[in-house]
Structure 1
Amino acid sequence: MNNTKKKLLYTQEEMLRINKETLARRGVKVSEIAEIAYRQQSKYTEGVSLELCVQSVERILSFRDIFHHVQLASEIDRLAEEKLFKGPIQDILYEDLGLFGIDELMGIDVAGNYGTIGVTNFGEIDVNKQGIVSFLNEEGKKEGKCHTFLDDIVGSIAAAASTRVAQIMSEETAHESDAYEKTTIYDYIEK
């Protein structure tokens, strides 16, 4: 009898490392995801840096829910490439049927970690495919390749990173404002 305990929980550092390795095996770099976040957010916010976008992507890749999404999405696509699914789902996944939608649902779930704006940002990225998302979408149409889930997961990570950057930049702007006055709960208690 094998008493080896399987590891099910990982630290944030481990999840980030494993996610980066998984994405790299599927042809995706953190910097490519960050470029999409940068392009999206720099349209609306002055002073956005690519470095902040990379930090945001890496932070998001260290979250447990995102870890599970990246790992599952990558594995589903790999299994579809190897034609290991049975029945109609094999062709639906392999051909990335437009009416399937569960891949977008996973993307919405990832982007939803950053609220309605995260989801809206994902919608824009999903419709206007650019950068690595466009590449994955086109590559996935080639024989032997399947990126049905990966293009949406990558787009949703970019959307979440874009939203995170906007939140950070807005917070910094709020602190710089002359109108900003730091208050605590005690400032509202009647004396």
Structure 2
Amino acid sequence: MANYTKKSELEVKARQLLTERGVELDDIAELVYYLQSKYHENLTLEVCRHNVDRVLTKREVQNAILTGIELDMLAEQKKLVEPLQKTIEIDEGLYGIDEVIALSIVNVYGSIGLTNFGYIDKQKPGILQKLNDKSSGQIHTFLDDIVGAIAAAASSRLAHSDAEDEHTELDN
């Protein structure tokens, strides 16, 4: 995610924070592939990566990334008030604000993203399993849902596009 030419300051920061928190574009592309490969016979990681990259250009997505990651980092630094601090630290099951922020990303590309998000959030493949692992000492209460939502949105973008054009023309 190092190529930041012609990107807004907000987009550059969002991409930078993802990388700093251990999430690469290819990690998210692999989730898109996981979600869409059975529906697109000739799907490649390059096409998945292109769709992730396009999702990351959306201001709503960038704002969600910055907001969620900042809350995770504040929780790591124990700078939140109780009981919010403990709630985010343990990723309390009934705390749904992390999913609400993620849904703002999912909604950018329509309702199909909602089913993709729900599915991937339960399955936790790839990078999502790593982010959900509490043993690292890092808090990813928001980030795991944000990454899943980006993958779901990219999958929706792919599903809504003409598959033939998407596989051959990556500049859309």
| Alignment TM-score, normalising by the size of structure 1 | 0.79
Percent of aligned positions that are identical:
44
Superposition map of 1:129-168 within 5 A: 129-138=124-133, 141-142=134-135, 144-168=137-161
- The 1-side partners of 2:9 and 2:52 are apart by 15
- 1:36–1:131 CA contact under 8 A, matched in 2: yes
> Is 1:77 aligned with 2:41?
no
Q: CA 1:21/1:143 → structure 2, altered by over 3 Å: closer, same or farther?
A: closer
> Is 1:116 aligned with 2:121?
no
Pairwise CA RMSD of aligned residues?
1.7
**Moved beyond 4 Å, runs of 4+:** none
Superposition map of 1:27-176 within 5 A: 27-138=22-133, 141-142=134-135, 144-170=137-163, 172=165
Unaligned runs of 5+ in 1: 1-10, 174-191
How many pairs does the alignment contain?
A: 161
CA displacement, residues 14-50 of structure 1 (integer Å, 9 cap, x when unaligned):
4433222110111110110010001110111222121
Paired letter, 1:165:
L
Paired letter, 2:87:
I
Q: CA 1:145/1:54 → structure 2, altered by over 3 Å: closer, same or farther?
A: same
- The 2-side partners of 1:130 and 1:30 are apart by 15
- 2:18–2:24 CA contact under 8 A, matched in 1: yes
- Larger relative contact order, structure 1 or 2 (CA cutoff 8 Å, min sep 6): 2
